Amino acid sequence: MQLLDTTYKRKSAVFTMIIMAFILFVIFTFGLKYLDPPDEYGIAVNFGTTNVGSGSNQSNEAMQTPPQEEVVEEEVQEEVQEQIDEPVEEIETVPTETAPAPAKAEDVITQDNAETIKINKQKEAKRKAEEAKRKVEEAKRRQAEKQRLERLKAERIRKEKAAAEAKKRAEQQAKKAKLDAMMGGLNSGKGNGGSGDGDDNKSGDKGSPDGDPNAQGYYGSGSGGSGGNYRLGNRNAVSTPKPVYDCNEQGRVVVSISVNKSGKVIGANPGVKGTTNAAPCLLKRAKEAALRTKFNSDNNAPAKQVGTIIYNFTLSN
Mean pLDDT of the chain: 76
CA 25 → CA 11, 22, 127, 132, 196, distances in Å? Answer: 21, 5, 15, 14, 90
Supply the pLDDT for residue 224.
36
**Cα(191)–Cα(206) distance, integer angstroms:** 10
Cα 11 off chain centre by:
22
Q: Which residue in 298, 260, 199 sits closest to 188, CA to CA?
A: 199
Supply the pLDDT for residue 135.
94
pLDDT in tens, 294-308: 999 999 888 999 999
Checking if the pLDDT of 4 tops 50, the result is: yes
Domains delineated in the chain = 1-37+106-182 (no CATH), 223-313 (3.30.2420.10)
pLDDT bin (cut points 50, 70, 90) of residue 141 is very high
Supply the pLDDT for residue 238.
92
Checking if the pLDDT of 315 tops 50, the result is: yes
> Which range among 79-83, 145-149, 183-187 has the greatest average pLDDT?
145-149
Residues 21-53, buried b or exposed e (16+ Cβ, 10 A)? Answer: eeeeeeeeeeeeeeeeeeeeeeeeeeeeeeeee
Checking if the pLDDT of 60 tops 70, the result is: no
**Cα(28)–Cα(20) distance, integer angstroms:** 12
Supply the pLDDT for residue 192.
42
pLDDT bin (cut points 50, 70, 90) of residue 72 is very low
pLDDT in tens, 112-139: 688 888 899 899 999 999 999 999 999 9
Supply the pLDDT for residue 218.
42
**Cα(310)–Cα(289) distance, integer angstroms:** 11
**Cα(288)–Cα(226) distance, integer angstroms:** 14
pLDDT in tens, 265-304: 999 999 999 999 999 999 999 999 999 999 999 998 889 9
What one-character-per-residue DSSP string does the chain give?
Answer: -GGG-SHHHHHHHHHHHHHHHHHHHHHHHHS----SSPPP--------SSS---SS---SSPPPPPPPPPPPHHHHHHHHHHHHHSPPPPPPPPPPPPPPPPPPHHHHHHHHHHHHHHHHHHHHHHHHHHHHHHHHHHHHHHHHHHHHHHHHHHHHHHHHHHHHHHHHHHHHHHHHHHHHHHTT-SS--SSSSSSEE-SSSS-EE-S-TTS-TT-S--SS-S---S-EEEE-TT--EEE-PPPP--SS--EEEEEEEEE-TTSBEEEEEES-TT-S---HHHHHHHHHHHHT-EE---TTS-SSEEEEEEEEE----
pLDDT in tens, 225-261: 445 689 988 899 999 998 888 888 889 999 999 999 9
- Half-sphere CA count of 245, side-chain side, radius 13 A: 18
Q: How many CB atoms lie within 10 A of CB 171?
A: 10
pLDDT in tens, 95-110: 555 555 555 555 555 5
**AA letter at 40:** E
User: Does the predicted TM-score (pTM) go above 0.75?
Assistant: no
Supply the pLDDT for residue 223.
36
Supply the pLDDT for residue 244.
85
Supply the pLDDT for residue 59.
65
Query: Is residue 277 a contact partner of residue 313, using CB atoms and an 8 Å limit?
Result: yes
Checking if the pLDDT of 75 tops 80, the result is: no
**Cα(313)–Cα(317) distance, integer angstroms:** 13
**Cα(12)–Cα(7) distance, integer angstroms:** 9
Q: What percent of the chain has pLDDT over 70?
A: 60
